[in-house]
Amino acid sequence: MTDPECWKIYPTEKSWLICLVWENVEDMREAMVDAGTPGKKLYDYKDVTAGCQCQTKKWNSKKGFKVSGPLGVLYFAKRYCSIGTIMHEIQHFLSHWIKGMKWEKKLTTKYSEPIAKMSDTLVSQFLNNYHRTFIEGKSDMPTQLYKYIQE
């Protein structure tokens, strides 16, 4: 399995999502199985072209919702990395965020704009990193970040 390109995007100043982009979808699927859900096999991911694994158990503490540190990992295969796919995976993360923040009841009134802004911020950060990495050829994150995630 090849190592992915990787970078962080920041929903808040003190929290981040790790983004991993593989050259081929087979390696991405294998990594998702390695990091994934107990009982899931490679066959279960046969049609998957991207993924979001939020670390929701780490988000909640005795004091409430923790919004610092790593919040999850977004998985992508370069060939399938369209704006729609990027937004789709970020939306999965935002669904967990809304639930963790207990914003469900006031989502359409009080929290609609903060979530829209967060979505815009995360997509923009992802696209900027994608451009810098794959178009300009300047990767900011060492592959050690990926190796750290695997531990």
DSSP-assigned beta bridge partners for residue 72? 17, 54
Greater model confidence, 38 or 123? 123
Phi first, then psi: what are they for 58, rounded to 5°? -80, -15
Question: How high is the pLDDT of residue 59?
Answer: 64
Greater model confidence, 139 or 136? 136
Per-chain mean pLDDT for the chain: 84
What is the domain range of residue 144?
5-150
Q: Which residues contact 45 (CB under 8 A, 6 or more apart)?
A: 29, 32, 33, 36, 51
Ramachandran area for residue 2 (φ above 0: left; ψ -120 to 50: alpha; else beta): beta
- Does the pLDDT of residue 144 top 80, yes or no? no
DSSP-assigned beta bridge partners for residue 19? 7, 74
Closest CA to 142 of 17, 35, 5: 5
* Cα 133 to Cα 151: distance, rounded to the nearest angstrom: 24
Number of domains in the chain: 1
Give tens-digit pLDDT for 39-64. Answer: 677 667 788 999 998 876 666 655 55
Considering Cα of 143, then 121, then 91, then 85, what sign does the dihedral take?
A: negative
- Does the pLDDT of residue 65 top 70, yes or no? no
142 CA to centre of own chain: 17
Question: How high is the pLDDT of residue 62?
Answer: 57
**Cβ atoms < 10 Å from Cβ of 24:** 13
Phi first, then psi: what are they for 41, rounded to 5°? -115, 170
> In the structure encoding, which two tokens stand for residue 147, read together?
């190796």
